[in-house]
Amino acid sequence: MTAPISVDVLILGAGINGAGLFRDLCEQGLTCAIVDKGDFGSGTSAAPSRLIHGGIKYLETGELRLVAQSTLERNLLLKNAPHSVTALSTVIPVFSWVKGVSAALRTLFGSTTAPRNRGALLIKIGLAMYDFYGRHHRVMPRHAMWSKARALREIPPLTPRIVAAGTYFDAKVSHPERLVLELVQDGLQASPASCALNHAAMTGCDGKTVEVRAADGQAYAFAPKVVVNAAGPWIDKVNAALGVQSRLIGGTKGSHILLDHPELIRALNGRMIYFEADDGRICLVFDFLGRALVGSSDIRAADPDSVRCEDHEIAYFLQSLRSLLPGLSFSEDQIVYAYSGIRPLPASDGTAPGLISRDHSAPVIEADGARPFAIISLVGGKWTTFRGFAEEVADTILSRLGRPRRISTQSLPIGGGRDFPQGEQRARWVAEVARETGAAPERVGQLLDRYGTTARAILQAEGARPETLADAADYTLQELDWIARNEAVVHLADVVMRRTALAITGRLTMRDLHQIARVTAAALQWDDTRLQQEMAEVQAKLAADHRLCLT
């Protein structure tokens, strides 16, 4: 029988909320274990719109506290994770002058139907409020309004049906799955006695211990003082496995597609268009690593294990783009990748999906006679607010355990954002690392943008004569070997779908997959049977779930 391992906190689920809490608690000196049945950041946290935003649409539903927190956290992420989170200029096309005010007021006071046709007056008021709530730690310009003539001059393919446009800044995250991994790694560095297990199955709960089997077959029995259920849309299932019944989650499905569309990328010119589709739903399109990312749907859904981006959603996206940008053509053959996930929103019957609160909560199921630990479930939340949510829950746990907060995470850099050089410092850092490693300055800058200051270690392993992938020549075999050896890789999919952006950008080819598989197999000591199995599983998943068939 496995000897119980005493930990202060066991976190079940290593998405963005679980990873954020793990880092915070480890920074306070607690001993924690975080466990996920998949890879770090592979569930809902791998399926966002890739935006770090203040939630301008939440002004309509009166969630002003959430807007204030979201804009603050957005500004903090721009400072703490500059290698991953960058500013995003945003344009809102406006199709009327005064429509939508009365509908917005009804929504604000509890109507369960979303407003449509938000006019210029309403957009102007909303953007002014957004600036006000985003004033703390401000790092970006305030909003502006464009005339119709300027909007069509700036983005020529836009429909001439617009009357004006609003502009403001939010932010985007280039590698969300990597940011989750970095939070976990930062936690382990702060608390070496803690542990993090990906691809690990919870095999049982006898009341006092939670049993887990790791990817390598090793069995663990954790005896925690507190359990945190951070399983997102799987929260109710995990609570049932822990022996308690709950109905906390009533999620909605969000789907996205990525297009290979150079004309659209040029027209966007680094901006996002955040727009009303013809049926009033909010959609978006922006340049994500050279592809046009389009989303997102908001449909009630219950099973996170079977969610896919369906044909009718794709048809909706393409038709919305055709209506918005009649100067461009759109077709299914431009799609290089598609993905979908379920937002772990609170159970909410009878409310329009777009109006279900995006705020977070942490209900507690107290310990009982047979179960000595309380269970805290992380319900709702959004990518942008993970740090603030983690801080709130960490303070609750610290209070329960009688432990003080040692450090605030508000100004704590994340992963490769630590000591990130900006402005004039960037050129000095690039030159210094180029001298140290023998790498070309262009390569140093490329990896600095991709990994932050972690690039130094990768470049030291890469050396002056890197071997590149056959088709994606900006990735090297040495770089991928370093990832396989240092970033908790268990499966080939971890490398191509989460540690790198090769799959999501549609750049992954069969030839490159063979090279990556061989490098990963050598690093992790796979035999040929395991290598072939991993190759087959990746190809099947990319084709079935993401519309990416390798050639």
Tell whether 137 and 40 lie within a shared domain: no
Whether 516 maps to a domain, the answer reads yes
Which pLDDT score is estimated for 300? 81
| Radius of gyration for the chain, computed over Cα atoms and rounded to the nearest angstrom | 23
Tokens of 472: 């994606």
Please classify residue 523 by burial: count the beta carbons closer than 10 Å to its beta carbon, then call 0-12 exposed, 13-18 middle and 19+ buried: middle
Residue 60 reports pLDDT greater than 80: no
Tell whether 512 and 440 lie within a shared domain: yes
Task: Give residue-wise pLDDT tens across range 398-425.
Answer: 999 999 999 999 999 999 999 999 999 9
Whether 26 maps to a domain, the answer reads yes
Residue 104 reports pLDDT greater than 80: no
Whether 67 maps to a domain, the answer reads no
CATH code of residue 489: 1.10.8.870
- Mean pLDDT value across the chain: 93
Name the phi and psi angles at 248, rounded to 5. Answer: -105, -25
Which pLDDT score is estimated for 169? 94
**Segment 32-39 mean pLDDT:** 98
Tell whether 540 and 447 lie within a shared domain: yes
Which pLDDT score is estimated for 111? 54
Tell whether 375 and 343 lie within a shared domain: no
- Domains of the chain: total: 3
The reported pTM is 0.95
pLDDT band of 42, cuts 50, 70, 90: very high
Listed range (11-20, 177-186, 244-253, 331-340) with the worst mean pLDDT: 244-253
Residue 19 reports pLDDT greater than 90: yes
Please give the residue range of the domain that contains residue 388: 4-44+177-248+358-401
pLDDT band of 354, cuts 50, 70, 90: low
Residue 378 reports pLDDT greater than 60: yes
Tell whether 39 and 11 lie within a shared domain: yes
CATH code of residue 376: 3.50.50.60
The set of residues, in sequence order, having a beta carbon less than 8 Å from that of 268 and lying 6+ positions away, is: 155, 285, 286, 287, 292
Whether 49 maps to a domain, the answer reads no
Q: Which residue type, as a one-letter code, is found at position 226? A: V
Which pLDDT score is estimated for 370? 87
Which pLDDT score is estimated for 355? 58
Residue 115 reports pLDDT greater than 80: no
The set of residues, in sequence order, having a beta carbon less than 8 Å from that of 141 and lying 6+ positions away, is: 169
Whether 522 maps to a domain, the answer reads yes
Which pLDDT score is estimated for 8? 98
Which pLDDT score is estimated for 116? 56
Task: Give residue-wise pLDDT tens across range 296-349.
Answer: 888 887 788 889 999 999 999 999 999 999 999 999 999 999 999 998 888 766
Tell whether 539 and 469 lie within a shared domain: yes
> Helical H runs in 500-546?
510-524, 528-546
Residue 291 reports pLDDT greater than 60: yes
**Segment 17-37 mean pLDDT:** 98
Count of beta carbons in the 10 Å neighbourhood of residue 364: 12
Tell whether 290 and 274 lie within a shared domain: yes
CATH code of residue 336: 3.30.9.10
Tell whether 110 and 244 lie within a shared domain: no
Whether 492 maps to a domain, the answer reads yes
DSSP class of 456: H
Tell whether 349 and 363 lie within a shared domain: no
User: Distances from the Cα of 163 to the Cαs of 56, 102, 166, 323, 338, in angstroms?
Assistant: 21, 20, 11, 15, 32
User: Distances from the Cα of 176 to the Cαs of 183, 268, 413, in angstroms?
Assistant: 11, 22, 15
Tell whether 509 and 526 lie within a shared domain: yes
Whether 137 maps to a domain, the answer reads yes
Which pLDDT score is estimated for 509? 98
Task: Give residue-wise pLDDT tens across range 223-241.
Answer: 999 999 999 999 999 999 9
Task: Give residue-wise pLDDT tens across range 473-528.
Answer: 999 999 999 999 999 999 999 999 999 999 999 999 999 999 999 999 999 999 99
Which pLDDT score is estimated for 108? 52
Count of beta carbons in the 10 Å neighbourhood of residue 450: 22
Whether 393 maps to a domain, the answer reads yes
**Segment 129-143 mean pLDDT:** 84
**Segment 131-151 mean pLDDT:** 89
> Which residue has better confidence, 473 or 1?
473
Tell whether 280 and 158 lie within a shared domain: yes
Tell whether 535 and 443 lie within a shared domain: yes
Q: Which residue type, as a one-letter code, is found at position 117? A: N
Q: Which of 535, 531, 513, 534 is nearest to 522 (CA)?
A: 531
